[in-house]
Amino acid sequence: MSATAIRRSVLAASAVSLALLVTACGGGEEAGGQKETKGGSQSEQSAAKALTAAELEKLVVAKGDVEGHKITVPGKDDTFEPGAVSVEKAECEPVGQAMSALPASKPASSVQRLVVQEPDAAKKDMPSIEELAKMTEEEAEQATLDSLDITKTMTSLWSYEADGAEQTLATLREAGKKCAGGFSMTLDGEKQQVTKVTEEKLSAGEDAVAWTVATKTGGTPAETKVVVFRQGTTLAGFSSFNIAAVTRGDAYEQPTAVIEAQAAKLG
């Protein structure tokens, strides 16, 4: 692969990363004439209160909570506005929302953090054109991809009144099943095709949904790791992307260190 081709691939992958910056509801049992769920009885759920934005700020992952990760408040260029996602199939909208780090339904309060894991090789700047010209094609490709071996995880906390969190998670689970074969969507005006939604196993919080969402944008394939788990009236959402993995066609793992740190803070 030439240096020019590498740069084209990197730029294409980077464009996808901007568009792809984000899990299971258990059955209940009848007890004493009232349905019991993991989150408590129906009466307990209806009385549950959402956490305030100030309370969520104290609970969201912060600097120093995840070793080897940089945690910051996301800027405007890192997030999407409500309404940025348009999905061809209405039943697939929750998947499109979650993979874009947007809530599947309107929460009472929310906060977000951008969590970036950088392996040692990725701490180097991308080689300059002059530096690439002095390398072999194999060296240039490796150096460029190493500089992009960065996993970005948009971490969100969404809190709901009553049983809103439980109902939203149930909606997400159902949408993942219905839309496993893929669907078309538009994100901030850019069309992309979700080719597959694959359910993954994950244990976090009181209930959880996890997927690998495969997409194609302008012919460039990509994967986004999506996790949403519930703790009481709050949902924690994670949408992860790795530019180098996409360019190489490699698989990468769920951001378990981030998920575990957030689960610990939520209790």
pLDDT at 208 over 90: yes
Cα gap 165→4, rounded to integer Å: 47
pLDDT at 184 over 60: yes
pLDDT for res 119 = 64
Q: Is the pTM of this model over 0.85?
A: no
CB 50 within 8 A of CB 103: no
CB 156 within 8 A of CB 236: yes
Q: Residue range 26-33: average pLDDT?
A: 34
pLDDT for res 89 = 94
pLDDT per residue as tens digits for the range 73-106: 999 989 999 889 999 999 999 999 999 999 999 9
Q: Which two tokens stand for residue 156?
A: 């969100």
Among 4-13, 55-64, 189-198, 224-233, which stretch is predicted with the lowest mean pLDDT?
A: 4-13
pLDDT per residue as tens digits for the range 46-60: 468 999 999 999 999
Band the pLDDT of 6: cuts 50, 70, 90. Answer: very low
pLDDT for res 140 = 61
pLDDT for res 16 = 38
Cα gap 27→38, rounded to integer Å: 8
Q: Which domains are delineated in the chain?
A: 3-266 (3.40.1000.70)
Higher-confidence residue: 30 or 137?
Answer: 137
Q: In what order do the strands lie in the sheet with 34-37?
A: 29-31, 34-37, 40-41
pLDDT for res 48 = 85
Q: Residue range 7-26: average pLDDT?
A: 37
pLDDT for res 218 = 83
Q: Residue range 203-212: average pLDDT?
A: 96
C-alpha dihedral, 26 to 29 to 35 to 38, nearest 10°: -40
pLDDT per residue as tens digits for the range 117-170: 876 644 555 566 776 677 776 666 566 666 667 889 999 999 999 999 999 999
